[in-house]
Amino acid sequence: MATSKTSLKEALEPVLPEPFVCKVRYIHTSPKPCDPLFSPPPGREPEKTRLASHFLTVSTTATQNHGKGELSPMPEHSDIIVFGIEVLVYTTKHLTTIFVSKADSTGFLPHKPHEIAVKPIVTTFLQWLTSEEQRRKPGRTAVVSLFARAQSQYLFPGSAENGRKHILDDRQLIKWWAKVLDPILSSPPECAGGSSKVPDVQGCITVPGFERGELRQFFPAQRSVAGIEQHWRAGHPLRELAEARGVSAAAPPRCLLPRFPDDPKARYMQDLDDEVGITEDATHSSPTKRRKGMWGSVRDLDRFWEAMEFRQECSSGRMVGFLWVVIPAQEAATNGAMEASQESSQGAPSSEPAIQRDVTPTPTSDGQTSPKKKRRPLTGLIIPRKPRLKGGSSSLSAASAGLNGMVEGAQAREGLMMTRDGYDRAMQTLLHLDFANLDVAARSTSKWVSEVSNICGLASDFAIKVAGTAKPADSTRKANGGRQVNDLGGMITKKRKATDGSASDHRALADTAEATNRVEAPAINTLGAGMIRKKPKPPVS
């Protein structure tokens, strides 16, 4: 990942195969204040936290299976959502948390394109979001976090009834997400200011009920890419993240664990809080009940993860995997680089020189100077703000300009910037649709797109077309000078065909058959003549 500005379309096209074409729709909200992600240590104020929601859908032309694995396009169904992912981005003063809330497919993408398209799209989208956050705030540590819990459907109601949907079990899902996050370790963001120092990116996996040695089965293959050794380890980075937040690693466990929506460990944390009478608002609980922020039965993080093994989510016969990828903070090389980054985030600077204010004191009637400063009239260009539409804000030319909408504050962003109410309305609409078969899925897709367009005040579809540019493996090999490939032809012995009944051909066939018989026939133990002792005959009288 690079810290330079790259559009989402430019990031997706190089990772998708050349014949693959899809439509991408991306909606998100601006960061708004929210409840703190971490509980504050005793005696400290909660961290000011802001939350931004991001939702990406991928749709393709619908296909109908006519048997024998053949798929043909259906003109009447021009567009059907095949995949969606929701990501929540929490930002504090020192930490950016990119949390994968939900990811789901509808099953209407053929199996092979599903393997070559969905995984790179998810990886690239997370890389792109992480790069954007690192580009805006290089002084913050970034962490990509998720928990993998196998379910038949997450985002698309009725999709589990589709027989073509490939549903992963718990073990497969954890391994799949580890492979999705693995490229982030091998291609971390470039350091701000062009520094050659490579961030020490770390991947962590925890599955309650598994020992550290047993977690190696979920690790992707270790390899070195461009001199960077990829590191996955069993455990969690919560203590390291606490230090990045300015919190001691010895703080109570409830202050080190994040509370995500629909999170199994967050529900357990709430139960532990209720046992000792701890509430998030210090004014509603006495110091005696708070017990210095400590739980009664769980005193450290290790004990917490051991107890998680017996929770209903983790003990019902299915495992739940918690995964993290931690990217250390990037420090700017010079103050000028930081100023340039701030100027770019606030819009194009004016060509006029900076206004110098007159600080010369003016004398009063008694001869003393007055501290009042004289102001000069403002000069320079006036850059008006674009009006915001009710329910969301977007550029009216977003569909034709590649979704490069201008949000309030003259900051260019991708996709459709929506208000929180508009975003929630769009997500609730999606969760009340049906994707059980092609007909209803096509109508549901059209209804959802129309609803989002109406919320944002758009007269047309807001999708952008993404066409893969990655060459197939064979084409890439030829383009790279015809690198040698593994050829098993020399290891296969073929029988020669007899032509014209020639003796040489018959002899070759006989030799081949004899060699084959020698290889395939089991060896027979025989005793040599010297090993057989014959009984001597009695002398003849």
Collapsing DSSP to helix, strand or coil, 303 comes out as helix
Contact 83, 104 (CB under 8 A): yes
pLDDT score recorded for residue 5: 74
pLDDT score recorded for residue 479: 45
Alpha-carbon gap, residue 455 to 449, rounded angstroms:
10
pLDDT score recorded for residue 527: 57
Q: Is the pTM of this model over 0.85?
A: no
Alpha-carbon gap, residue 110 to 124, rounded angstroms:
21
Contact 387, 408 (CB under 8 A): no
Q: Which residues pair with 407 in a beta bridge?
A: 411
pLDDT score recorded for residue 451: 95
Q: Which residues pair with 334 in a beta bridge?
A: none
Catalytic residue list: 263
Per DSSP, the residues of 73-135 read E-TT---EEEEEEEEEEEE-SSEEEEEEEEEEE-S-S-HHHHHHHHHHHHHHHHHHHHHHHHH
How does 119-134 read in b/e, with b if 16+ C-beta sit within 10 Å?
bbbbbbbbbbbbbbbb
Alpha-carbon gap, residue 226 to 261, rounded angstroms:
37
Q: Which two tokens stand for residue 93?
A: 């003063």
Q: Which residues of the chain have pLDDT under 50?
A: 1-3, 64-73, 75, 191-196, 282-284, 332-367, 369, 391-412, 475-493, 498-510, 512-522
Given the structure tokens 């059980």, which residue do they identify?
436
pLDDT score recorded for residue 277: 81
pLDDT score recorded for residue 28: 96
Question: Which has the closest alpha carbon to 404: 393, 391, 392, 413?
Answer: 413
